[in-house]
């Protein structure tokens, strides 16, 4: 009886091994799962030569000029210093700034811009700008709303420059 049981176990073992071998070889040849290739849909499309002109250049910020450093400065500096006005200056909502006044402030030492109808003193922020000084100076002394929205539409400018607001822009 043990011999009969041994024979059956052997046959079962052989059938199991043959079934696994045949199913693994046949399934691997018919499998729709293949290793990813370089044209995987998860990869971004390759950049074309014409798109390279649209890429932003990388700027290395000076030590101590990261977004976290800017946030720290906003928490610790008195508001009037970042606004660039005397401490007794009225709140920004009471200060009306026209185009002629805005145009006077377009240097590295005195730089204002208008974004979404509010005028900001961006002088203290210039060296913190991730795109570099050259890029931020493109909106110096003028309305920079369209340029800001082109590159930073997701950024909350009111929060980022909340302590730098000088007044409200009024077109004359």
CB 115 within 8 A of CB 145: yes
Task: Specify the higher pLDDT residue, 73 or 15.
Answer: 73
Instruction: Spell out the domain ranges in the chain.
Output: 1-33, 58-169
* Those residues with Cβ within 8 angstroms of residue 75's Cβ, 6 or more apart along the chain or in another chain: none
pLDDT at position 70 is 93
Task: Specify the higher pLDDT residue, 35 or 53.
Answer: 35
**Which tens digit of pLDDT belongs to each residue from 63-93?**
999 999 999 999 998 888 999 988 889 988 8
> What is the rounded average pLDDT of the residues 92-107?
94
pLDDT-above-90 percentage for the chain: 49
pLDDT at position 143 is 96
pLDDT at position 123 is 96
Placement of tokens 């932003």 in the chain: 56
**Topology annotation, domain 58-169:** Flavocytochrome B2; Chain A, domain 1 (3.10.120)
pLDDT at position 62 is 87
> What is the rounded average pLDDT of the residues 43-67?
70
Quote the mean pLDDT of the chain: 83
Q: What's the Cα-to-Cα distance from 150 to each of 2, 70, 118, 120, 144, rounded to whole Å? A: 84, 22, 17, 18, 10
Give the strand order in the sheet containing 96-97. 96-97, 165-169, 118-121, 110-115, 106-107
**Quick check: 48 pLDDT over 90?**
no
- Predicted TM-score of the model (pTM): 0.66
**Quick check: 116 pLDDT over 80?**
yes
> What is the rounded average pLDDT of the residues 132-139?
94
pLDDT at position 162 is 93
pLDDT at position 7 is 82
């Amino acid at each position: 009886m043990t011999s009969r049981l041994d024979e059956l176990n052997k046959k079962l073992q052989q059938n199991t091994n043959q079934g696994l071998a045949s199913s693994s070889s046949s399934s691997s040849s018919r499998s729709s799962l293949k290793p990813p290739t370089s044209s995987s849909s998860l990869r971004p499309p390759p950049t074309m030569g014409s798109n390279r002109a649209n890429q932003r250049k990388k700027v290395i910020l000076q030590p101590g000029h990261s977004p976290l450093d800017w946030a720290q400065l906003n928490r610790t500096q008195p508001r009037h210093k970042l606004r660039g006005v005397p401490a007794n200056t009225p709140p920004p909502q009471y200060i009306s700034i026209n185009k002629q006044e805005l145009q006077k402030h377009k240097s590295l030492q005195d730089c204002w811009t208008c974004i979404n109808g509010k005028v900001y003193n961006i002088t203290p922020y210039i060296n913190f700008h991730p795109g570099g000084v050259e890029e931020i100076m493109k909106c110096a002394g003028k309305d920079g709303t369209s340029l800001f929205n082109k590159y930073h539409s997701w950024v909350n400018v009111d929060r980022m420059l909340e302590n730098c607001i000088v007044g409200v822009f009024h077109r004359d």
